[in-house]
């Protein structure tokens, strides 16, 4: 396998890890919010966050361009202020993976939090502990299996992300071509044996990482 393929593999691992880290950070917090608080418009917000699960990734990618492209709602002020834009950067690949993996984490962790015995939470409050301490010391440890499952799912999804990444980050060899994009390119130009080699490599590496994550996660709980 040549240098370009190793680059793509490394890029995929970096992008997926980074996206998963952000998904953990925001996903667990959002899941807590949805599970514990009631507010107006909650179901609408929940639906918005679930959308990337339902839409074809290319459509999600299109909406990401509308939001974060140079002429986008968030992209334009960003570009005008800093001269920097998301499009065609590896950061865009992280953003795309983050957006499509987030709903997986939110759904999984929310269900786990909702299944924590409410009396345990009430007991913690009566013992004087704040909502924050209760979340850290009681709720999250007991929802741990869900958090691990969500992390594994998110990482897997990020490793395989194609449509939204292609849209927002582009397929630029040596810069933004993650494994799925690289395989697409190579397959597109008919080099099937090379594509097969990359597919096998991606499968083996991903499978290994998922296996390790599952074992490690089980030991945590």
Partner 1 sequence: MSLSVKIRKKMDSFVLDVSWQMNNELAVLFGHSGAGKSLTLQMIAGLVEPDEGKIRLGDVVFFESKAGTRLKPQDRHLGYVFQDLALFPHMTVYQNILYGGYGISKTEKESMAVEMMRRFRIAELRDRLPGRISGGQKQRVALARALMRKPRVLLLDEPFSALDASIRLGMGRLLKEVQHEFNIPVVLVTHDLHEARALADRMFVYSAGKIIQSGRPDDIIHLPESQELMDLVESSAYRTQEPAAIWADPLRWELNRTP
Partner 2 sequence: MLAFIFCLLLAAVAVEDAFAGTEIMISAALSLKAPFEDIGRIYEKKYPGSKAVFNFGPSGTLQKQIEGGAPVDVFASASPKELDDLASSKLIVSATRVDFAGNSIVLIAASKAAVRPAAFSDLAKKNINRIAIGNPASVPAGKYAEEALKNMGLWENLKVKLVYGEHVRQVMDYVARGEVDAGMVFLTDAIPRSGEVEVIAEAPASVYKPIVYTMAAITGTKNESAARNFIAVVISKEGKEALRKHGFVVNLHR
Q: Does 62 sit near partner 2 (CB under 8 A)? A: yes
Partner from partner 1, partner 2, none contacting 142, C-beta within 5 to 8 A by type: partner 1
Residues found near partner 1 in the complex (CB under 8 A): 117, 119-120, 122-130, 137-138, 141-142
Pure H helices in 161-191: 163-169, 179-188
d(CA 170, CA 185): 12
How far apart are CB 139 and partner 1 at their closest, in Å?
11
Question: Under the criterion CB under 8 A, does residue 117 sit at the interface with partner 2?
Answer: no
Indicate which single residue of 65, 95, 102, 138 sits in contact with partner 2 (rule: CB under 8 A).
65
Q: Would you count residue 69 as binding partner 2 (CB under 8 A)?
A: yes
Name, in order, each residue with C-beta under 8 angstroms of 135's C-beta and a sequence gap of 6 or more. 32
Residue 162, CA distances (Å) to 23, 140, 178, 207 in order: 18, 32, 8, 18
- 87 or 121: CB nearest partner 2: 87
28 binds, among partner 1, partner 2, none (CB under 5 to 8 A by kind): none
Write down the least CB distance from residue 186 to partner 2, Å. Answer: 9
Helix 3-36 with 179-188: angle, nearest 10 deg: 130
CA distances from residue 159 to 18, 37, 132, 154, 207 in whole angstroms, order as listed: 11, 32, 33, 9, 11
Instruction: Give whichever of 11 and 138 is closer to partner 1, judged by the CB atom.
Output: 138
| 30 versus 121: smaller Cβ distance to partner 2 | 30
Dist CA 97 CA 88 (whole Å):
14
* Binding flags for partner 2, 188-217, as an x/- string (CB under 8 A): xxxxx-------------------------
């Amino acid at each position: 396998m040549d240098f370009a393929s190793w680059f793509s593999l490394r890029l995929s691992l970096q992008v997926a890890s980074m996206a998963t880290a952000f998904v953990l950070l925001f996903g667990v917090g959002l899941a807590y919010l949805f599970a514990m608080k009631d507010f107006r418009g909650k179901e609408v917000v929940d639906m918005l966050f679930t959308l990337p699960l339902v839409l074809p990734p290319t459509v999600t990618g299109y909406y990401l361009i509308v939001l974060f492209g140079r002429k986008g709602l968030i992209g334009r002020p960003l570009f005008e202020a800093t001269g920097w834009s998301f499009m065609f950067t590896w950061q865009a690949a992280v953003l795309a993976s983050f957006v499509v993996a987030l709903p997986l984490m939110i759904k999984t962790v929310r269900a786990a939090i909702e299944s924590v015995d409410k009396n345990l939470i009430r007991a913690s409050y009566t013992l004087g502990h704040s909502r924050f301490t209760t979340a850290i010391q009681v709720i999250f440890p007991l929802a741990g299996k869900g958090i691990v499952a969500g992390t594994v799912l998110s990482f897997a999804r990020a490793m395989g992300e194609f449509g939204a990444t292609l849209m927002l980050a582009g397929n630029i060899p040596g810069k933004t071509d993650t494994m799925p994009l690289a395989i697409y390119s190579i397959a597109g130009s008919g080099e099937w044996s090379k594509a097969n080699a990359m597919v096998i490599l991606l499968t083996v590496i991903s499978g290994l990482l998922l296996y390790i994550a599952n074992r490690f996660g089980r030991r945590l709980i």
